[in-house]
Amino acid sequence: MRIAFFSSKSYDKEYFKKYARNYNHDIIFFETALTEKTANLTEGCEAVCVFVNDKVDKETIAILSKLGVKGILLRCAGYNNIDLEAAKEHHIKVLRVPAYSPEAVAEHSLALIMTLNRKTHKAFNRVRENNFSIEHLVGFNLFEKTVGLIGTGLIGQAFAKIMLGLGCKVIAFDVYENESLKKLGINYLPLDEVFEQADIISLHCPLTPETKYIINKENISKMKDGVMIINTSRGALINTKDVIGGLKSQKIGYLGLDVYEQEEDIFFRDLSESVLKDETISRLMSFPNVLITSHQGFFTKEALGQIATVTLNNATVLENGEVLLNEVL
C-alpha cells in the first residue's frame, strides 16, 4: 500500500522506517500538515497517515476521495480532527491506534504534577547560576491528597494506579465506571463532587461535544482554592480564557498543560526565532505557576514503537480487506 504520511518529524521517519521493514508498504513522508490545500499531495496513494493537528475536514476528505484514497490512518488515539460523517459518505475507512503505552501519558501527567509542586524546573535554573537558595520553592506532600480523575480509560487507569501508589486518595468521574478500579479503592462520584473534593484534577477523557470546555468558569468556581489542574488529553477540554481568570484570582494554584486548544500553529515547531503571535498562550506562560509542554506525553521509545507497529498493521488489514478491529465507527 502506498501511504502519504503527513506532519512527519525525524522521529516518525526513524520509527516507521524501522518497523516498515516487516510490512509491504511504500511510505512517502511529508513535513507539511494535511489540509484542503495539501490534499493533492496524496495523488497515487491509497491511504494517508495523520496526526493530531492534521485538518481532515469534509473539504479535505472530498479531495482525498477524488484522488482514490481509501483509508485514513491515525497514528494516535483521538480522532476529533476527522470529519467522520464525511469519511463515511465517501467510503473512506478511518483507523486509529487505540492504545499505545498508556503509561507514557500517565507518567507525563505525574511529571507535570511533581514539577509544578516541587518546582524542580526553577531549582535547576537557579543552581546553574550558582544560586543555591531554596526560598519560594516550597511544595506539598502528595501523600493523602485527593486526586480527581476525569476519564478512566486506559490512560486514566494507569494514572490512577500511579497516584494510589503515592498514597493519594483517588476519586473519579466517567460515564462508564471501571469495576477493577473500584476494587482498588477508587470511588466514582458525580462530576460536581469530584470538582469540589479534589486537590488535583487530571483530565484523561476524549474530546466530545459533551466534554468540550469541561473546565470552565462555572466548574472552576466549584473547586478548592489553590487547586491543581493537569491536562494531557485534548486542549479544548479547557476554556483557556476562564482558566486565565482562575489563575488571576488564585482560585487555580497550579496549571500543567501538555495540550492547548490552538496548538496546531505552535506545537511540534521551533519558533525560538519568531515572534509568538498567540497572545493567549503567551499570557498563560507569564504565570509562574503554569507549566506547558509541547504535546510530548506520548513521547517514549515504547510508545513510538507501538504507534508504528499498530498503524502499519492497520494499513495491512485495510489493504487485505480483513476485519478492521481499530476502525473508528
**Burial (Cβ within 10 Å: 0-12, 13-18, ≥19) of residue 5:** buried
How far apart (Å, rounded) are the C-alpha atoms in residues 27 and 15? 12
What's the DSSP call for residue 77? S
Of 205, 191, 142, 196, residue with least CA distance to 169: 142
261 an active-site residue?
Answer: no
2 an active-site residue?
Answer: no
| Catalytic choice (96, 204, 261, 263) | 263
96 an active-site residue?
Answer: no
| Catalytic choice (295, 302, 319, 322) | 295
Of 39, 33, 25, 44, residue with least CA distance to 7: 33
| Catalytic choice (96, 234, 261, 264) | 234
Q: Which residue has the cell 494516535?
A: 76
Instruction: Please list the residues that pair with 113 across neighbouring strands.
Output: none
How far apart (Å, rounded) are the C-alpha atoms in residues 41 and 328? 24
Tell me if 221 sits within 8 A of 157, measured CB to CB.
no
Q: Which residue has the cell 505552535?
A: 266
What amino acid is encoded at 144 in this protein? E
> For residue 285, what is its C-alpha cell?
506562560
| Residues recognised as catalytic | 234, 263, 295
